[in-house]
Amino acid sequence: MLRNSAAGNTRLILEGNLIKAVLSLSVPIVINNFLQTMYNLTDTFWLGRLGTADMAGIALVSPVQNTAVNFGQGITLAGSILISQYVGARDNKNARSMASQIFVCAMVFSTLASILCFLGTPSIVGWLGAEGDVFEKAETYLGLVIWDLPFLFMINIFSAVSQAQGNTIRPMLLNLLGIVLNMLLDSFLMIGLRLGIAGAALATVAAKMPCAAVGMFFLTRKESAVHLELRKFRFEKTKLMNILRIGLPTALGGSAMQFGFLLMTKNVLVFGDDAMAAYGIGNAINGIISMPSNAVGSAVATIVGQNTGAGNMERAERAYKKARLMIVAFLFVGGMILSRDIVALFMVSRFSADERVIPMAADFLSIMAFWCFTNGIYNTTTGLFQGTGNTLYTMVVEAARLWVFRFATLYILDNLLGMQERSVWFSVVISNGISALILWLLYRTGLWRKNKAIL
């Protein structure tokens, strides 16, 4: 049985079996990510019972919220990297101070982002090109769901602090609480009280509130080696500069990617509401397919971060190689199964009864599943660069993945080859594959070893 206490996993990460270390961290993260994805899948399931306009509305504006989330996650990622390096260096005092710096920054950002996005909701939805029922649904959903940001960031900070210490069980259990609440509230608010898409947004916000309170309770417990010290909080210039140096590239890259997704949704909407709904369903299910890869990438970042702090770069590289091989093999086999037409049709039909939407969504899902093994290379190599604090490289590749490779592919396939909505489906996998190859080549140059001394 895999240990997952903070102290036990720190010893495992720095001294124990690396495969066991990867599994000990990544398995709970997979479950955690699955639970997080279930927030969206639960909404998708119930919205699919309401109508195509509801599905199209939520798919249209989700990237808006994700843009703010991804920018803020650059802050939490920086905190996780820096805290893990302090833990590896056995410096809990600075780890606690860094946790407090990250928390205050994240709370300020998330509150401001919620206010600004709420005020700009009508203009944002109009700019995305929505009309009629889709405009109404999208405006209602975004105007409500955006208020979950402060609670989401409390949960994310808790997860980052826990994961940096090698403890991924508590975040998993906290998200389990959230998904159970969300599932209950979705059915009650959307169907029972007939609030429709407004009920989906309110359920998401309400489900996060108690989870944020629980996370805050554990973050402030002095019994934990790394906890918040807010009473004597003072901004520290050196730590803030490290947060900016490491977190800003990730924040810019992530938010630029999500902003690009906004433009992608505009391109998809050109092909009609059915294509928009199919795109939303395919992306929601793809979230499940991507979970193992994302989890192993997060585990690599933690393992590399702690071993970097301990000055053991060779062990950090061995962990990366083992993790990459494991996840690529797993995704290749799993992708071959999920890409079969009968499997894809069965999965998407759980989320829509529209005979026009189902074939399009199944086609999108089949294509993504077949090529999903490239995500294993992308995520583990990203974890390697992030764990050593080299986030600038991952930012450039992440931005290029969407703004250069995806849009260029989309233009060629749609305008020159006339593939219509399938041009969107193929642009996703082609851009992912190119980006994975570029990151692997950057790894081979040894650039990831630079700037490793960030403490």
Sequence length of the chain is 455
Cβ neighbours for 350, distance < 8 A, ≥ 6 positions apart: 45
End-to-end CA distance of the chain: 34
Give the pLDDT of residue 1: 39
The 8-class DSSP code of residue 147 comes to G
pLDDT at 38: 64
Whether the pLDDT of residue 429 is over 80: the answer is yes
pLDDT tier, 80 (very low <50, low <70, confident <90, very high otherwise): confident
CA–CA dist 362, 207 (Å, integer): 30
Domain ranges of the chain: 6-449
Distance (Å, whole) CA 233 – CA 228 = 9
C-alpha triplet 297, 299, 302: angle, nearest 5°: 115
φ/ψ of residue 3, rounded to 5 = -80, 150
**Highest-pLDDT range among 89-98, 161-170, 444-453:** 89-98
- Of all residues in the chain, the percent with pLDDT exceeding 70 is 92
For 29, the token pair is 């993260």
Lowest mean pLDDT among 45-54, 85-94, 294-303, 407-416: 45-54
Instruction: Report the b/e string of 242-272 with b at 16+ CB within 10 A.
Output: bbeebbbbbbbbbbbbbbbbbbbbebbbebb
Mean pLDDT rounded to a whole number for the chain: 83
Q: How would residue 245 be classed by pLDDT, with cut points 50, 70 and 90?
A: confident
Dihedral sign of CA atoms 419, 424, 427, 429 in order: negative
Burial class (CB in 10 A: 0-12, 13-18, 19+), 415: exposed
Q: Kindly state the average pLDDT of the residues 10-22.
A: 83
Mean pLDDT across the stretch 181-196?
84
> Is residue 200 predicted with pLDDT exceeding 90?
no
Residue 148 per-residue DSSP state: G
State the Cα–Cα distance between residues 111 and 118, nearest whole angstrom. Answer: 11
For 121-151, the pLDDT digits (tens) are 999 888 877 788 888 888 998 999 899 999 9
Residue type, 270: V
| 21-59 residue pLDDT tens | 888 888 887 777 776 666 556 666 676 677 777 777 777
Tokens linked to 197:
């898409």
Tell me, yes or no, if the pTM score tops 0.85: no
* Structure token pair of residue 38: 């279930």
Residue with tokens 């990510």: 33
Closest residue by Cα to residue 320 from 296, 292, 291: 296
pLDDT at 341 over 90: no
Determine the pLDDT at residue 309: 84
Residue 15 has pLDDT above 50, yes or no: yes
* Non-local CB neighbours of 314 within 8 Å, separated by 6+ positions: none
Cβ-contact 367, 286 below 8 angstroms: no
**Tens of pLDDT along 95-108?**
888 889 889 988 99
- Cβ partners under 8 Å of residue 142, min gap 6: 61, 64, 65, 117, 121, 124, 125, 201
Cβ 369 vs Cβ 338: under 8 Å:
yes
Least confident of 39-43, 72-76, 432-436: 39-43
**What pLDDT was estimated at residue 3?**
45
Res. 10: pLDDT tops 80? no
Integer-rounded Cα Rg, in Å, for the chain is: 21
CB 58 within 8 A of CB 49: no
**59-79 exposure pattern, b = at least 16 Cβ within 10 A, e = fewer:** bbbbbbbbbbbbbbbbbbbbb
Segment 206-226 shows an average pLDDT of: 90
Looking at residue 319, its pLDDT comes to 93
